[in-house]
Structure 1
Amino acid sequence: MPETGYIAVFLIGLLGGTHCVGMCGGIVGALTVQVPGQTRRQWPIHLAYNLGRITTYTVAGALLGALGTVGMLYNEIMPIQLGLYVLANLMLIALGLYLTGFTQLLAPVERLGQHLWRRVQPFSRRFLPARSVAQGYPLGLLWGFLPCGLVYSVLATALVTGSATRGAGLMLAFGLGTLPNLLLAGLLFRRFRDITRSTRVRFAAGLVVMGFGIFGLFHAPSLGGVLWSGVVC
């Protein structure tokens, strides 16, 4: 049985899909145009594309989880873990507000990621147009570097885990949560994009994500209580 923290992150990925489709819809839409044929011929490429993206998230989670391990060594001297945990939940609240449209707090964070994306993006040209799984998967690996406040918010939580294994598992659960939205966006792009752009859908998703962050802050003294049991070290 998965720990509650992984389920929570899966739900954050699922609910945050309204942001994913708005941000990455152009990419998956372009891939759809470039792939000739029926939907049944397109879905393996879209699946490979998304699995590549999730692989990048998982590796990033492992790296940050391992980095968090170093910080935990000094936890008796300074409350590093508590500080990182509070920061991670503040980012979830900011993400929720971002999804509802109340504020653009995460926009500067996404702009910071543009510096890395500019270096990575040119490598994607060799895989375009993606007409096979062999092209779709590495293209997805590169797509995982696309600046995204949603991804950065969950990566902050991966840092708090204090474990490469937990950090990887957390980002894997998150990536799987984003999969249905982006897979549908690729295969039913126009129809699904209209649904996710609905103000009510984005507002409701934002409130739920914000709720996770508020819950985490409320239980910060016990590092999350039941919700993050087995995830936060």
Structure 2
Amino acid sequence: MNGAQLLPVFVVGLAGSIHCVGMCGGIVTAMSATARPPPNTVIPIVAARADALSHVLAYNAGRIGSYMIAGALAGGLAGGARNLAAVAGVQMSFYWLANLMLVALGLYLMNAWRGLAVLEQGGRVLWQRAQPVIGPAMKTLMPADTAPKSFALGALWGWLPCGMVYSVLTTALLSGSAADGAALMLAFGLGTLPMLTGLGLLGARLQKAMQRRPVRIACGLLVLAFGVIGLARAAGGVTPEWMEMLCLTPHP
């Protein structure tokens, strides 16, 4: 998988990260609030900001790491199944599904259609069943006042049910290998990084700005466009090079 194929995934993560405001905004803002400068610091405010940044980056490293594990599992599973049973049209079916998921995500971000909420609800059922194990572990990590605790919390939080993550994981099914699936989810995770880093440092100010309807519509339209272009490519077969550069999924 080359960089040209990963760039659209990064852009989807960047545009879709407004969804992260609700999912992760509270926890990264709390990390910023609990940051404390080391004793005898010459410039306490700067030291506190640096401490907050280290916690937020550690949290995001853990979160993106969990995305990469999920991508590796999806890519490896689909690749192995394709090698075992080369069923005609299966990969193209996944291609259609991946781009339909992007269309759903774009509408979801714009609050025009909440279909992905059904998937999130299904994921929450599994998350609740895992609470006897995950719950105590998360409690021991709160407050996340050190970088290692922040990293571990992010690694757990990355498995929280999220329709946006599910949409991109559908694309990871097409990657063909565990390594490519992990790379795809890394690109997606890096796309969400600016928003969550900004939330950790600016908190409620950025959170309020990102919840404005024009912002959500603009970001949703961008993601929707990727899905529509992918569907057009699937329906039309051979397509111009500019369209292939904008396709989120690898060649079928």
- Post-superposition shift, 1:188? 0.7
Structure 1 residue 228 displacement after superposition: 4.6
Which residue number corresponds to residue 189 of structure 2? 175
Task: Give the length in aligned residue pairs.
Answer: 233
Alignment of 1:37-56 (within 5 A): 37=37, 38-56=48-66
Larger mean CA deviation between 153-162 and 65-74 belongs to: 65-74
Task: Check if 1:103 corresponds to 2:113.
Answer: yes
For the 8 Å contact 1:71–1:80, the answer to whether it is kept is no
| Identity rate, percent | 44
Q: Return the match for 1:79 from 81, 84, 89.
A: 89
- AA aligned opposite 1:94: A
**Any gaps of 5 or more consecutive residues in structure 2?**
38-47
2:103 to 82, 93, 111: 93
1:135 equivalent among 145, 149, 155: 149
Q: Bigger shift: 116-125 or 161-170?
A: 116-125
Aligned to 1:25: 25
- Of residues 59, 78, 85, the one that matches 2:69 is 59
**TM-score normalised by the chain length of structure 1:** 0.93
Cα deviation 1:80-122 (Å, max 9, x = unaligned): 1111111011000000000111111100111111123221541
Two-structure CA RMSD over aligned residues (Å) = 2.1
Specify the structure having the higher radius of gyration (Cα): 2
Equivalent in the alignment of 1:35: 35
What is the aligned counterpart of 1:185 among 171, 188, 199? 199
> Is the Cα–Cα contact under 8 Å of residues 162 and 232 in structure 1 kept in the other structure?
no
- TM-score, structure 2 length as denominator? 0.86
Does the 8 Å CA contact 1:75/1:81 hold for their aligned counterparts?
no
Q: Is the 8 A contact 2:31 2:52 kept in 1?
A: no
Q: Conserved in 1, the CA contact under 8 Å of 2:226 and 2:247? A: no
Residue-by-residue CA offset, 1:189-214 (whole Å, 9 max, x unaligned): 11100110010000000000000001
* 8 A Cα contact 2:32 2:201, kept in partner: yes
